Structures are given as C-alpha cells and as structure tokens.
C-alpha cells in the first residue's frame, strides 16, 4: 500500500502521449504482413456481449472455434471465447478443442453497480460452470470519487473469489477523462491483483484508443520494473480493421517488448475484427465468425 500511494500519480506533459503514439502508429505500418496478422488473430477474445444473445449464439461461437483448425489449417486459433455467464455452459459443452479459454464478464458488468455479495457469487458461479477467465469492471464511481481504498478492497476480494482463474479488470478508459486517471486506475488494478488490465467494455464511447493503450502499457512496464510481476494488457472496444489492431500490436511491442507479444499477456476483445484479419491473411473476403 505504501508503494502504491507513493507512486500512484503521474503527470503527462502536453503532447507527450500524442507524440509517442504518433511515432508508434507510423511504425505499425511496418507490421502490415502475415506474421503480425496471425499474431493478432491468436490474441483475440472472440466476444459476443449483446442483450439479444442466446444459447444458439453461444453454441454457434463454440462450434465455429472448434472447427477452425479444419477450415483454416495452419492458422492459429483465437485465444478465448468471451460471453455472458448464462452462456458458459453452452459454450463449454460445444467447445471441442483444447487451448481456447472460456472467458465470462461478471460482477455487475458493464457498470459494476451491484452488491458485493452478488459480484462474488456471480464470479464463483461462472467458474463453477466452466469459466477459465473472468472480466470485471472497476467501480468507476468509487474511483472518480477518490475512494481508492474501496477500489483496492473490491478488486482484491474479487481476485480472491477467482482463485487461480485469471482476472481481467476493465478500466473503462473513456470515462476516466485524463491520462493521469488512466495511469492511476492501472496501478490500482494491478496492485489489487489484476492479471490483466483492459481498456473498455465496448458499451460506452470512447472505447479503446491507442493513447489509453500507451498509458496503460507504460503503467504495466513501470509495475513490472518495481515488482517483477508481468501483468497482461487487453484492448477492447471498437477495434475492427486490421490497420487498427496493428496499432495496438505496435504499442505493446514498443512499450513492453516481444515478451508480451503472445496471448498469455496480450489480448484483443473483438468479433468483426476476426473476419477482417482472416480476409487480410487469405487475400479474399472471409466471413467465418
């Protein structure tokens, strides 16, 4: 706690973030080839989080992922399928291939505005049903009110409920308004036990931005240098085109290095992006997922 409170603030001079991101975006053009398309594909959390989702959608997702190696031999499969808790059992039943994780959004997603007992119970139920990763949203009300002890306590309790299951903490960076807040939220989440920090729910605007990603990756690097603990980064929300995702790949590569360029430490929350990456890889229109 002393380390956290002594290092939680970081000021960003005018232009620092924008200039750094502009340089990296320019470098991302060098990644416009099959190697990096495939890397991005392997890091996708194939996601459906719509109010109209049903068990047929969960079954469809799982079967598509299960058949992927036969349909696209030689290409890496996605890293995970991410769904609401009610679809976990259906996805697990129909996911016939090893190596693909089953992620669930929990704990009052997307607002985090429910009782703590409900949040803990939902996480435990999701894991009991078969979830191997849990995505939650930081309580933005507490964070923006400056009640950092409450933020720390909540994430710590939810991580405890996860046990060995990876916990991804969504910062909802578009609501944080400043780079200093994004940095601060990143540090709080990591100090509280997050295995990943994630940009956005995709339910509000702005969602993921390269600028927010750069700040978060810098915070991850700083945290790693101080603790020797590697925390993962997940970009999610509005990432659709191949050129868009390469910007995030380039940011991770530039700030965190090649050690983070794998789906153990880097994820991309997306659905439409998967087909666009496949189109870029195959050189023809692909609509598979």
Residue 76 CA, distance from chain mean position: 19
Question: Is 198 a residue of the active site?
Answer: yes
d(CA 213, CA 233): 8
Which of 119, 159, 198, 253 is labelled catalytic? 198
- For CA atoms 246, 209, 150, 158, the dihedral sign is negative
Q: How far apart are the C-alpha atoms of 233 and 170, rounded to whole Å?
A: 10
Active-site residue, from 45, 135, 195, 244: 135
Query: Is 258 noted as a catalytic residue in this protein?
Result: no
Residue located via tokens 């989080």: 49
- 229 noted as active-site residue: no
Which residue out of 184, 234, 247, 253 is catalytically annotated?
A: 234
In angstroms, the Cα distances linking 288 to 205, 238, 248 are 27, 19, 23
Report the catalytic residues.
135, 198, 234
């Amino acid at each position: 706690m002393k380390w956290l409170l002594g290092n939680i603030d970081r000021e960003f001079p005018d232009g620092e973030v924008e200039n750094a991101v502009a340089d990296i975006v320019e470098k991302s053009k060098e990644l416009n080839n099959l190697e990096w398309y495939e890397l991005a594909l392997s890091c996708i959390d194939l996601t459906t989080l719509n109010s109209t989702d049903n068990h047929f959608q969960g079954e469809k997702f799982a079967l598509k992922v299960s058949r992927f190696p036969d349909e696209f031999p030689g290409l890496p499969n996605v890293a995970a399928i991410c769904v609401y808790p009610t679809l976990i059992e259906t996805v697990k039943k129909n996911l016939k291939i090893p190596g693909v994780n089953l992620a669930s959004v929990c704990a009052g997603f997307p607002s985090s505005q429910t009782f703590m007992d409900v949040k803990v119970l939902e996480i435990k139920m999701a894991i009991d049903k078969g979830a191997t990763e849990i995505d939650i949203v930081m309580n933005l009300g507490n964070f923006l009110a400056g009640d950092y002890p409450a933020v720390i306590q909540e994430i710590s309790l939810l991580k405890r409920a996860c046990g060995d299951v990876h916990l991804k903490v969504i910062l909802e960076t578009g609501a944080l308004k400043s780079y200093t807040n994004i940095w601060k939220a990143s540090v709080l989440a990591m100090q509280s036990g997050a295995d990943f920090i994630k940009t956005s729910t995709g339910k509000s605007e702005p969602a993921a931005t390269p600028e927010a990603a750069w700040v978060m990756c810098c915070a991850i690097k700083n945290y790693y240098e101080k603790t020797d603990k590697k925390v993962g980064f997940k970009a999610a929300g509005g990432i659709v085109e191949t050129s868009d995702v390469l910007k995030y790949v380039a940011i991770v590569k530039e700030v965190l290095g090649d050690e983070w360029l794998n789906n153990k430490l880097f994820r991309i929350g997306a659905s439409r992006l998967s087909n666009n990456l496949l189109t870029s890889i195959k050189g023809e229109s692909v609509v598979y997922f």
